[in-house]
Structure 1
Amino acid sequence: MPPPPLTGGRHDAKKMNRLKGMALGLSLMLPLAADAADARLQSVMQKLQAGEPVTVAAIGGSITTGYAAQPPREQGWAALLARSLGPSIRLFNAGVSGTDSAAAAHRLQSQVLDANPDLVIVEFGVNDQWLDPAVRGSSYEALLRRLLGAQKPPAVVVLGLTQQGNQPRDATDVQLKLAEHYGVTALDFGRWMQAREDAGIDRWSALYDEPVHPNAVGHQRIAQALSETLLAAIAQPARQPAPPPEPVYGRAHEFTRLLGGDDLHPYRQQGFTRGGEVHPEWVGQQPGWISRADYGEAHFLVWGSEVAVFHAESEHYRNLEAWVDDGPVVTLRGHVPERQGYLGWHYSVVGRDLEPGAHLLHVRVKPDEWTGSGRPASLLAVMSAGVFAPELHGSDFIREPATNPAELIAPDDPRLRWVGRVAAAPGGRLLAWSGTELRARFTGRELTLRLAPARGGINHFTVDVDGRRHALALRGDGPADWRLPLPAGTHELRLIKRTEASQAESVFLGLKLSPGEQLLPPPPPRRLRLEFYGDSITAGACNGDLGQDQYADLSTHDGTRAYGALTAQRLGADYIGIAVSGIGVTATWDQLLMPQVWNRYAPRLDAPVAPPDAQAPDVVLVNLGQNDHGFPASRGQHIARDFGPRYLTFVRELRARYPLARLVLLAGGMTAWKEEPAIPRALEEAVATLRAQGDARVWTYTFQAFAYAHPRIDVHELMADELTAFLKTEVLK
């Protein structure tokens, strides 16, 4: 029988002692009762005994909603427990059927923490059994860490449920171990119930009409076991709260971002429309995107180190497939024949272990046996985890002191292939312009890069090994070794500078391999060479920013994901980027104009002028004018009257340096060309003038894709689509 309910009002000492004695007896029945009770839980129980209002929140899946009890919200375990604790309880039931702890991480704030609860009971033992095993530990741990780290931390009770017969237990065992790690009270209901069956006082079969969801009797038993657990806390010594320990599974799901409704908007799509069924229990959800077209596809800008799609599944839906950036394709199983007559919902991970930051999610209807059926394929939301602040970014590299230079392979070794404008520097090579690239092949179990900061702030690099991107943030003073462990074998390296030259410079001093390993002949040269001149748009400034443009954290500024680098990648070309934020031909937000620095090794007047490359670019592209308009406009002034002639003069200088190259004069990416007619007019007049003088190898192109702030990587993707098509059809034919 369940214990007598606690009632509101004050108790005399005799009644209090009787209650504590009963709790002590009950504690002996609990398989997982700790040797000390959470002080927060004791405080909640003391408030309850005093008749003070207590707010209880329960978060979980369909079992928490009361599914299979009638009516569910009134006869489910949460409601039964609340009534047993007395009239001073205020209950918030945040159960949402078909959700797991990964989805709960996205609703914890609005559905639980905003209620300012005194006690939170967390139930996901059954639904997390179907959650990706690589996710369930991190997502459940995040719930505990966020609850315990709240401004007013509630008492937390982990409710470890299993299916009928106390199996399977994979997810529940993870959750109970996390409860122990964080020192919170836990109830292993499966063990509690199994002990009763072993003692002959209860039967599993009485609690379930089907294997997953407990029936009305099952909900009564869960409420009974929880009541015993709470009462047992009264008689135990208090365990005072301690700072949260180090995480077991990482912190990714503490930092999440939910894209749904109007926030879930593709930057490119065909065959998808707004719609699809909305989860009926998720308060505030709006329709996602749905397609009945066999060719349907949609592409989204997302952030985080893990990207997942939250989608419907039933016997009536079709499958989708999705991938992040250029990662592996994952099937999103919408067609689930066993879900007959009702909808299910699933958190499907598409990309994990990504570099924290901006990414592109690609979704399409999967070609399969349902092609031509007209069945819908639907996605409701995109859920990202690992949206870390810069100080929480991890690194795959191990920083070590620089050692004997004789161990290094020198930067001028002929087996290293350099792409870009690279200057000699004391002991190495100066890396200034974003997009500067080193390519090499080698054998071994690790790679060590020796680099030294030269000027400015933190230098950010992409180190691509065998197609996998690793972020390297060059911090600190003086040279250092950056060691990257690798699997044994032959590897191909691309070291690419991301940070634009005006913000940071560095010196590459060499690389080191494992003992006995060797540097191999370099990758073959690319057949095509593109050289871009531009401003912050071309440099990729702010292209990974979440929210407003900013220059405080340059890890989100990535020249390797700007439209020029993307275009070169699609054409299989080498990329050279000469770009400076704020710069123009006639106006600048800083000190220098492009005609002063365009031919130097770095954007400063004391940098040497670089001789023409031994391998001249095949195509030279110029995208300037945004700041020629933007800077004077910020002061209420007009673009310089001589912008057109000075622009033409700069183009003539480029032509003189590159007499055989194709020249493409670009406008766009932001809005200056829309706001200032002098910009497109200057480009058209420059082309007309050069062609009239016999120079037929010059074109102009205006991007249709644009952004009012700095373009993010989704807009750069569209710009690269446009430019690649234009170059193929008009310039390179």
Structure 2
Amino acid sequence: MNWLKGWGLALSLMLPAVAAANTALQAVMKRVDAGEPVTLAVIGGSITTGYAAQPPRENGWAALLARSLGPRVRLVNAGVSGTDSAAAAHRLQAQLLDAQPDLVIVEFGVNDQWLDPAVRGSSYEALLRRLLTAKRAPAVVVLGLTQQGNQPRDATDLQLQLAAHYGLPALDFGRWMQARVDAGTDRWAALYDEPVHPNATGHQRIAQALAETLRRPAADATRPLPAALRGRAHEFTRLHMGDTLNPYQSHGFMRGGAVHPEWPGQQPGWVTTQDDAEARFLVWGSEVAVFHAESEHHRNLEARVDDGPWVTLQGHVPERRGYLGWHYRVVGQGLEPTAHLLHVRVKRDTWAGSGRPASMAAVMTAGLLPPALRASAFEQTTPTGWPGLIPASDARLRWAGRIAPAATPDAKLLVWSGSELRARFTGRELSLAFSSTHWGTTHLAVEIDGRTLPLAVPGNARTTWRLREPLGDGEHTLRIVKRTEAPMSELVFHGLHLAPGGTLLAPPPARPLKFEFYGDSITAGACNGDVGDDQYDDLYPHDGTRAYGALTAARLGADYVGIAVSGIGITATFNELLMPQVWDRYAPRLDAPVAPPDPRAPDVVFVNLGQNDHGFPGTKGQRIAPDFAPRYLAFVRSLRARYPHARLVLLAGGMTAWKDEPAIPRALSQAVATLRGEGDARVWTYTFQAFAYAHPRIDVHTQMADELTRFLQTEVLK
């Protein structure tokens, strides 16, 4: 599922009014004719830099055009060889918009021809939209270039279509030139010494054609900015480069490698000559691409996002003889617009042992969308009594987690993060029915046939959500997991609808193990997908399914129960309640009933508390409570009483409290020693080495899951 597809159907935004492009251009040209200072900016690839004109920056088409317009026209040339509109989206602000141009000419017809067709529409359109909606919006002209002979035209025709959609003046240079050739007044061969780059004469012709375009009479009026044709992913980009491109795990890579000589401020990326080099990075967005070097002397890398397919980063390009090139290679597309893990490694190929470098300069991501633009695979429908509803209490639905009874008969209350439903069914349609009296939006991961579809269900509402696209024939698997932590949302699941003739099948088999985690915001996955600082305004990137406990359970084939609340502790809390007050309830509130022990007891119970016992008094300049250790032990004894046969693992870490406050690891060690001294051999302690100073993101959670999985396999489950 491409999460950007159909975003316009779900979008209800006021589109800004912009000055019509022809009017804006006429105003600039009047200033040029009046001898007023004007800033002309151009953005494109090597043709825009003036490549093949001598000297390029002085005699390329942009410089020739600027001089023809007069001495008071200042030129800002943001051409960068080997780049396309996708890379330009990442450099537009710093290299062009910060110069506050009056007139901008956009050229990517040739380089976009080599850009992934699924990307170039969105990326080029994003350039136009960002220019038109800039705080000081310039006049914009689209320059549609082709290679010699006016072929191929795929990228150019798309760009001209977008120019027409936004009412922008445009030059189709291929057609302009072909008309001259057809009239017998010019020759393609006179403009090119090789197929791609125009020579000095070619640059003169481009400048001549542009000068005519700028003088073309037209009239228009102010109008609303039209809706995007190709999506808006590349309006929301993130550049990981230099100090912001740091792997959370690395072997064999070192800081360095070539930097683009025409890219101002670019910092070294990562390079290696080792055959087994690999690195992992934390990134954000719905599209992830690697900007890497290519030449006859480089070798190939390969990369993937999360558990996606491996994609070759073609660093070895024999055609790049004596010339270092650059390429924007998409590694993941149609991703959920949130945090992801990028894995890069040297490709095992014929160049193994060659000592050739493999180099990546940057990671470029797009589609880090604001809430209003996030797509959904589901559409909301109006509930009409839900005839034919398969209730949540149906025995063919398998539940995992601490699932509460709801006030409505046959419904289930989902409170704790990680609460999970699994089912098997036939039919091509699926709808899900919910209601909520809680204020918070509940974010769910709805997994159908292994494909995860996020769903945001509003609080204080009764809603039904229908899958937009029909499923295929045959059997399907369904998994619904609550991502949002308990205090932030409570949701009633009433049941599901299937297509006419669809059937709910026998439930999936139970998982072989069951894990139960008690913790705070670390265990809940709070802020684990946030970009920048921790925040609680938008809980979409707070994903309990990607917290270390849920990841560990998934790796070891265990059902997951997550009893976790941000800010909570044993002796201190940032909220109102302590964990000993709510640990055994259906919800983290005192009016919630105590849940009876599950008929299937957990195999392993984990406790990761203490961060807030240190952090909350620390905000007041105080130390951890002097009775933390005995109260911690008392809580562990409560767990043991509820689960007499479970293995208990007392955890510390994920953040820095255990480093800052020695009383925390000491309390854990004392608890284990006390219980073992009483004959309880089924208790362990483990301290995570992976940690973060703010809330851990999914890279740290992944490392924590790596550690905990190894510990369980070697010490606890053996």
TM-score category, normalised to shorter length: over 0.9
After superposition, the Cα gap between the structure-2 partners of 1:378 and 1:237, relative to the gap in structure 1 and judged at 3 Å, is closer
After superposition, the Cα gap between the structure-2 partners of 1:648 and 1:99, relative to the gap in structure 1 and judged at 3 Å, is same
Could you tell me how far 1:242 is from its partner in structure 2?
1.9
Once the two structures are superposed, the pairs formed by residues 149-188 of structure 1 within 5 Å of their partners are 149-188=133-172
In the alignment, which of 326, 349, 361 is matched to residue 307 of structure 2? 326
Question: Is the contact between residue 653 and residue 688 of structure 2 (CA under 8 Å) also seen in structure 1?
Answer: yes
Is 1:704 the counterpart of 2:672? The answer is no
Output the CA distance in 1 between the equivalents of 2:246 and 2:459. Answer: 40
Output the CA distance in 2 between the equivalents of 1:663 and 1:454. Answer: 36
Which residue of structure 2 lines up, in the alignment, with residue 23 of structure 1? none
Which residue of structure 2 lines up, in the alignment, with residue 285 of structure 1? 266
- What 5-or-longer segments of structure 2 have no aligned partner? 1-19
CA deviation string 1:574-603 (max 9, x = no partner):
111000011001111111110111011111
In the alignment, which of 632, 636, 640 is matched to residue 625 of structure 2? 640
Output the CA distance in 2 between the equivalents of 1:615 and 1:415. Answer: 18
Once the two structures are superposed, the pairs formed by residues 444-459 of structure 1 within 5 Å of their partners are 444-459=427-442
Output the CA distance in 1 between the equivalents of 2:439 and 2:604. Answer: 31
Once the two structures are superposed, the pairs formed by residues 87-236 of structure 1 within 5 Å of their partners are 87-232=71-216, 236=217
Output the CA distance in 2 between the equivalents of 1:375 and 1:410. Answer: 61
Which residue of structure 2 lines up, in the alignment, with residue 308 of structure 1? 289
Output the CA distance in 1 between the equivalents of 2:117 and 2:508. Answer: 39
CA deviation string 1:672-727 (max 9, x = no partner):
11111110000000000000000001000001111111111111111111111111
Could you tell me how far 1:291 is from its partner in structure 2?
1.4
Greater shift, 663-672 or 349-358, is seen at: 349-358
Output the CA distance in 2 between the equivalents of 1:406 and 1:395. Answer: 24
Question: Is the contact between residue 443 and residue 488 of structure 1 (CA under 8 Å) also seen in structure 2?
Answer: no
Which residue of structure 2 lines up, in the alignment, with residue 487 of structure 1? 471
In the alignment, which of 466, 479, 489 is matched to residue 449 of structure 2? 466
User: Secondary structure of the residue that 2:486 maps to in structure 1?
Assistant: coil
User: Secondary structure of the residue that 1:146 maps to in structure 2?
Assistant: helix
Is 1:609 the counterpart of 2:590? The answer is no
Is 1:48 the counterpart of 2:29? The answer is no
Output the CA distance in 1 between the equivalents of 2:140 and 2:372. Answer: 28
CA deviation string 1:441-491 (max 9, x = no partner):
112222111111232311111111122111111115332111113431322
Which residue of structure 1 lines up, in the alignment, with residue 425 of structure 2? 442
Which residue of structure 1 lines up, in the alignment, with residue 710 of structure 2? 725
Is 1:622 the counterpart of 2:607? The answer is yes
Output the CA distance in 2 between the equivalents of 1:184 and 1:580. Answer: 53
Output the CA distance in 2 between the equivalents of 1:240 and 1:81. Answer: 27
Which residue of structure 2 lines up, in the alignment, with residue 21 of structure 1? none
Output the CA distance in 2 between the equivalents of 1:77 and 1:176. Answer: 20
Which residue of structure 2 lines up, in the alignment, with residue 503 of structure 1? 488
Greater shift, 144-153 or 475-484, is seen at: 475-484
Which residue of structure 2 lines up, in the alignment, with residue 564 of structure 1? 549
In the alignment, which of 259, 279, 282 is matched to residue 240 of structure 2? 259
Greater shift, 247-256 or 348-357, is seen at: 348-357
Tell me which amino acid in the other structure corresponds to 1:390.
Answer: P
Which residue of structure 1 lines up, in the alignment, with residue 516 of structure 2? 531
Which residue of structure 2 lines up, in the alignment, with residue 400 of structure 1? 381
Question: Is the contact between residue 37 and residue 238 of structure 1 (CA under 8 Å) also seen in structure 2?
Answer: no
In the alignment, which of 44, 53, 56 is matched to residue 69 of structure 1? 53
User: Secondary structure of the residue that 1:282 maps to in structure 2?
Assistant: coil
Tell me which amino acid in the other structure corresponds to 1:67.
Answer: Y
Question: Is the contact between residue 438 and residue 460 of structure 2 (CA under 8 Å) also seen in structure 1?
Answer: no
Tell me which amino acid in the other structure corresponds to 1:97.
Answer: S
Output the CA distance in 1 between the equivalents of 2:218 and 2:97. Answer: 28
Question: Is the contact between residue 440 and residue 459 of structure 2 (CA under 8 Å) also seen in structure 1?
Answer: no
Output the CA distance in 2 between the equivalents of 1:599 and 1:397. Answer: 34
Question: Is the contact between residue 40 and residue 241 of structure 1 (CA under 8 Å) also seen in structure 2?
Answer: no
CA RMSD of aligned residues (A): 1.0
Question: Is the contact between residue 257 and residue 385 of structure 1 (CA under 8 Å) also seen in structure 2?
Answer: yes
Question: Is the contact between residue 417 and residue 482 of structure 2 (CA under 8 Å) also seen in structure 1?
Answer: yes
Question: Is the contact between residue 438 and residue 459 of structure 2 (CA under 8 Å) also seen in structure 1?
Answer: no
Tell me which amino acid in the other structure corresponds to 2:50.
Answer: G
Output the CA distance in 1 between the equivalents of 2:488 and 2:460. Answer: 16
User: Secondary structure of the residue that 1:667 maps to in structure 2?
Assistant: strand
Greater shift, 136-145 or 391-400, is seen at: 391-400
Output the CA distance in 1 between the equivalents of 2:269 and 2:703. Answer: 22
CA deviation string 1:16-71 (max 9, x = no partner):
xxxxxxxxxxxxxxxxxxxx970000001000110001100010000000000110
Which residue of structure 2 lines up, in the alignment, with residue 343 of structure 1? 324
Output the CA distance in 2 between the equivalents of 1:579 and 1:95. Answer: 51
Output the CA distance in 2 between the equivalents of 1:423 and 1:288. Answer: 50
Is 1:514 the counterpart of 2:492? The answer is no
Output the CA distance in 2 between the equivalents of 1:343 and 1:37. Answer: 37
Output the CA distance in 2 between the equivalents of 1:211 and 1:136. Answer: 22
Output the CA distance in 2 between the equivalents of 1:228 and 1:55. Answer: 19
Q: What's the TM-score once normalised by structure 2's chain length?
A: 0.96
Output the CA distance in 1 between the equivalents of 2:470 and 2:708. Answer: 36
In the alignment, which of 574, 578, 585 is matched to residue 600 of structure 1? 585
User: Secondary structure of the residue that 1:380 maps to in structure 2?
Assistant: strand
Greater shift, 142-151 or 604-613, is seen at: 604-613
Output the CA distance in 2 between the equivalents of 1:466 and 1:537. Answer: 29
Once the two structures are superposed, the pairs formed by residues 576-591 of structure 1 within 5 Å of their partners are 576-591=561-576
Question: Is the contact between residue 501 and residue 602 of structure 1 (CA under 8 Å) also seen in structure 2?
Answer: yes
Question: Is the contact between residue 21 and residue 140 of structure 2 (CA under 8 Å) also seen in structure 1?
Answer: no
Question: Is the contact between residue 570 and residue 632 of structure 2 (CA under 8 Å) also seen in structure 1?
Answer: yes
Tell me which amino acid in the other structure corresponds to 1:440.
Answer: A
Question: Is the contact between residue 411 and residue 510 of structure 1 (CA under 8 Å) also seen in structure 2?
Answer: yes
User: Secondary structure of the residue that 2:391 maps to in structure 1?
Assistant: coil
Output the CA distance in 1 between the equivalents of 2:542 and 2:487. Answer: 12
- What 5-or-longer segments of structure 1 have no aligned partner? 1-35
CA deviation string 1:91-119 (max 9, x = no partner):
00000000000000000001110000010
Output the CA distance in 1 between the equivalents of 2:524 and 2:697. Answer: 12
Output the CA distance in 1 between the equivalents of 2:252 and 2:449. Answer: 35
After superposition, the Cα gap between the structure-2 partners of 1:681 and 1:139, relative to the gap in structure 1 and judged at 3 Å, is same
Is 1:272 the counterpart of 2:253? The answer is yes
Output the CA distance in 2 between the equivalents of 1:196 and 1:59. Answer: 26
Which residue of structure 1 lines up, in the alignment, with residue 680 of structure 2? 695
Which residue of structure 1 lines up, in the alignment, with residue 16 of structure 2? none
In the alignment, which of 654, 659, 663 is matched to residue 678 of structure 1? 663
Identity over aligned pairs, percent:
73
User: Secondary structure of the residue that 1:102 maps to in structure 2?
Assistant: helix
Is 1:381 the counterpart of 2:362? The answer is yes
Q: What's the TM-score once normalised by structure 1's chain length?
A: 0.94
User: Secondary structure of the residue that 1:359 maps to in structure 2?
Assistant: strand
CA deviation string 1:615-640 (max 9, x = no partner):
11110000000011111111111111
Tell me which amino acid in the other structure corresponds to 2:403.
Answer: V
Q: Give the greater-gyration-radius structure (CA).
A: 1
Moved over 4 A (4+): none
Output the CA distance in 1 between the equivalents of 2:218 and 2:230. Answer: 30
Question: Is the contact between residue 127 and residue 235 of structure 2 (CA under 8 Å) also seen in structure 1?
Answer: yes
Question: Is the contact between residue 424 and residue 507 of structure 2 (CA under 8 Å) also seen in structure 1?
Answer: yes
Tell me which amino acid in the other structure corresponds to 1:339.
Answer: R
Could you tell me how far 1:329 is from its partner in structure 2?
1.6
